[in-house]
Chain A
Amino acid sequence: MFRIVLTVLAFELAVGSEPEEVVADFHHELLSSMKSSAPFAERYAVLDHAVGEAFDVLTITRVSLGKSWRAQSAEERLGFRALLRELIVATYTSRFSSFNGQRFETVEATEVREGRWVVKTHLVKNDGGIVRLDYYFRDGLIFNVVADGVSDLSLRRSDYASIIGSEGLDGLRRSIRDSIEEYRSSDAP
């Protein structure tokens, strides 16, 4: 019996998590962060792990930088990837910092084509209001979150293209670092 359980567990680990499960686990961590009274740094550490498990930060970085990605050295690409991961985690840590009875509901998960999924969910607020959150997957990881019809990745790409056009990649790095710092300081007691 024990061997059967172990075999099933091993199989589950081998095939990886379904997109629905990835989203459910991520939502669970978000709710924990919202309910926690821990300081920013502690909640950041928990969500950093959750983002690392659920998000394809490399794809997010590549698409966000658009054509500028190609001109980057391997080292610069890694640097931007780390910076964006930090920004994503700081954003979630700052925005999901208080709990007022909200809950997440999964509406449906659809495989659009091989390896590409959309998981549609609702964030239900305490007054019954709904925020639609659609998670776009590529090869088992989230690369885009669409909130009430607005794509986080599209916004990021347009926003970054504008800054790269006016201030270059160094300006973009500076602006992202400033944003991260603002998130950290806004949460300070």
Chain B
Amino acid sequence: MRRSVGFPAVFVALASGCALGPGPEYAVYDPVESINRRSYEISEGLDRVILRPLAVGYRKVMPTFAEAAVENVFGNLRSTESALSGFLQGEPERGFRDTGRFIVNSTLGVGGLLDIATVMGLEPQQEDLGQVLASWGYTRSRYLYVPVLGPTTVRDLPHLIVRAGLPRLAMHESYNGWAGTIDMASARAEVLLATDVRDEASLDPYTFTREAFYQRRRDAVFNGEPPVEAGFDLLLEEFDEE
């Protein structure tokens, strides 16, 4: 019953996102900036008081090998989205590679604690449902800042939901408050350096986060090889006109 409420909501959100007029692909589009900014401020407040201290403490307390094991376990569960997304993008070699990673790490890697697949030459990939939709032509999407979960777009919402829900789905009751807290602390610890650099380098952290998010997504869609010419055109267009 819960599903029947959730899926139409996502569908409507996606449909409204797809209905955008023409505009530059992968460019920042933030028509509800005032709401997003408010959401960002609330999230940042919570982050300063709860999440960041939790992540810093977690990193201090956890031995490196244990931290890696936690990342491996949750990463392994989430790699199923990457595998599915590889197939849905019409890149079966990527789909098979992630499927292979999941099987190897779930068995030889003791339920995902060890990343044996990488040692065997199956490098991790970062495919997701947002990239699937982008590869299907949904290249321009509205920006959303979801409280606590962070930056996304309407197109990338399914990825955000699946990413948050997969461990719960796979671990059932085992994904209790403790597991959820560790998952959250581990995820926040992974981006500590990035957010510290942002706080140091940015004059307007909201704009900085949004721009970086769009660029990272574009880079992910092109598997780390976005067309370089577009970068020159975009940045020097105005400059060359003079």
Contact B220 A182 (CB under 8 A): no
When distances are taken between beta carbons in the complex, the residues of chain A under 8 Å from B178 are none
Residue pairs across A and B with CB atoms within 8 Å: the count is 89
Additional pairs, 13, CB under 8 Å, beyond known A66-B238, A159-B207, A179-B203:
A91-B201, A118-B228, A136-B228, A136-B232, A136-B235, A146-B231, A149-B219, A149-B220, A153-B235, A158-B211, A159-B203, A166-B204, A182-B200
When distances are taken between beta carbons in the complex, the residues of chain B under 8 Å from A66 are 238
Q: Does B65 contact A (CB under 8 A)?
A: no
List residues of B (219-242) whose CB comes within 8 Å of A's CBs: 219-220, 224, 226, 228-229, 231-232, 234-236, 238-239, 242
When distances are taken between beta carbons in the complex, the residues of chain A under 8 Å from B224 are 132, 149
Interface string of A156-167 (1 = CB under 8 A from B): 011111110010
**B interface residues with partner A (beta carbon < 8 Å):** 28, 197, 200-204, 206-208, 210-212, 215-216, 218-220, 224, 226, 228-229, 231-232, 234-236, 238-239, 242
Contact A154 B202 (CB under 8 A): no
Query: A148-B216, A149-B216, A158-B28 known; A163 and B235 CB under 8 Å?
Result: no
Closest chain B residue to A161, Cβ basis: B207
**A interface residues with partner B (beta carbon < 8 Å):** 59, 62-63, 66-67, 70, 91, 94-95, 110, 112-113, 116, 118, 132, 134, 136, 138, 143-144, 146, 148-151, 153-155, 157-163, 166, 172, 175-176, 179, 182-183, 186
Contact A162 B231 (CB under 8 A): no
